Amino acid sequence: MRALLAAFACLALALFARSGAAVPSGSVSDTAIMATENPPLLSAFGFFKGGADRPSAALTAYALATPLFSDYSEKQRFIYLPANGKLTVEPSGRVKFPVGAALVKSFGYPDAAGKLSIIETRLLLHRSDGWVALPYVWRADGSDAELKLGGARVPATIRHAGDKDQAISYAVPNKNQCKQCHSSKDKIEPIGPTWQNMIFQSATDKARLSAQAQLPKNSLLADAVWNDPKSGSVEKRALAYLKINCGHCHRPTGSASNSGLFYDDMVAGDAAMGIGKRPVAAGRGSGNFDFVIEPGHPERSILLYRLKSTDPGIAMPELGRSAVHKEGAELLEQWIREMKR
């Protein structure tokens, strides 16, 4: 028995050492991405050459036309594809990534001098048995980031144009909370990347990724961009905002499926969009109002009430909402005010 335990211990140490092994500078460790255990330090993957501001050349940076609001944090998004890895873009524009791919997303705020200070980096790793979501929190000296399965709270300051600085308790999600948003039928999946919603920093990046992508035969119409009036009507922009900020949970396969309130691609009629729909499990989230959306009356619509609250028993979305997204709320207010039914 003791010998057996010792053997286990040796194996464990060997595995542990391998996943923690130093990676040659500039190259990403496919082994770490595919491993069954999760490295305690972010450096094991080789996504960064030291600090968060030095991404590996193997990563492709991208942005989203309409991003998810997370307490006004700035986000840096990267795709890693293994050698010979191919993307498949579905007719809807949703991007399917090969096994071995990784999505890397860093969150931070500019400091008083305007320099971006990264708090955390979240990973979505496409392993052979599915996607895994892992949160890493950067050390104060920025030398490396540590795996925080249980999440963390970090003090941060929002410096938003035209507003006073706002001190918040920034929440790094725990591993389960990652899944809460990133799940469909109880399986983890990426939610942001649809081909038409992705913006690449350089034409070269886009060309390189396109060469690795199988694009659909149909043309992909760009979604309206929530804050660009030239990109579409108020309604189109409001729906684009709701899809990105709410539709990952509020869809029939998401974690808010029981609400019957849906903002995914497949809009299923007025009631499913909240128009004239009474709350079900809102509790004090109802704010004493009768309907999720009352056309013409944003001030009596539960949607706006919850969007504008930071109380955890009321606020929607449930995560990343220590602050209110004023500009998003203004767009939805205008949409509901002008709504005729």
Minimum distance, C-beta of residue 125 to other proteins, in the bound complex (Å): 16
Minimum distance, C-beta of residue 182 to other proteins, in the bound complex (Å): 12
What is the C-alpha to C-alpha distance for residues 164 and 158, in angstroms, rounded to an integer? 9
Closer residue to other proteins in complex, CB, 228/270: 270
For the chain, strand residue ranges (E) read 59-64, 74-80, 87-89, 95-96, 102-110, 116-127, 130-138, 145-147, 152-158, 166-172, 183-184, 187-188, 198-200, 213-214
Cis-peptide into 229, omega within 30 deg: no
Closer residue to other proteins in complex, CB, 138/289: 289
Phi-psi region of 262 (alpha: psi -120 to 50; beta: other; left: phi over 0): beta
Closer residue to other proteins in complex, CB, 207/266: 266
Closer residue to other proteins in complex, CB, 219/288: 288
- The Cβ of residue 273 has, within 10 Å, a number of other Cβ atoms equal to 19
Minimum distance, C-beta of residue 308 to other proteins, in the bound complex (Å): 16
Closer residue to other proteins in complex, CB, 87/249: 249
Write the single-letter amino acid at 20.
G
What is the C-alpha to C-alpha distance for residues 285 and 247, in angstroms, rounded to an integer? 18
**DSSP code per residue over 147-189:** E-TT-EEEEEEE--TTS--EEEEEEEPPHHHHHHHSEETTEE-
SS3 sequence of 248-294: CCCCCCCCCHHHCCCCCCCCCCCHHHCECCCCCCCHHHHCCCCECEC
Minimum distance, C-beta of residue 274 to other proteins, in the bound complex (Å): 10
Minimum distance, C-beta of residue 232 to other proteins, in the bound complex (Å): 27
What is the C-alpha to C-alpha distance for residues 134 and 123, in angstroms, rounded to an integer? 5
Closer residue to other proteins in complex, CB, 57/280: 280
Q: Is 109 helix (H, G, I), strand (E, B) or coil?
A: strand
Closer residue to other proteins in complex, CB, 54/278: 278
Radius of gyration of the chain (CA): 21
Q: Which two tokens stand for residue 266?
A: 């497949």
Closer residue to other proteins in complex, CB, 16/327: 16
- Provide the binding-site residues for other proteins, judged by CB under 8 A: 5, 8-9, 11-12, 15-16, 36-37, 148-153, 169, 171, 174-177, 179-180, 186, 252, 255, 257-258, 260, 270-272, 276-291, 302, 311-313, 318-319, 321-322
Minimum distance, C-beta of residue 189 to other proteins, in the bound complex (Å): 15
Minimum distance, C-beta of residue 169 to other proteins, in the bound complex (Å): 6
Q: Which two tokens stand for residue 48?
A: 């960064």
Minimum distance, C-beta of residue 256 to other proteins, in the bound complex (Å): 9
Place of tokens 């009036």: 229
Closer residue to other proteins in complex, CB, 152/215: 152
Minimum distance, C-beta of residue 123 to other proteins, in the bound complex (Å): 15
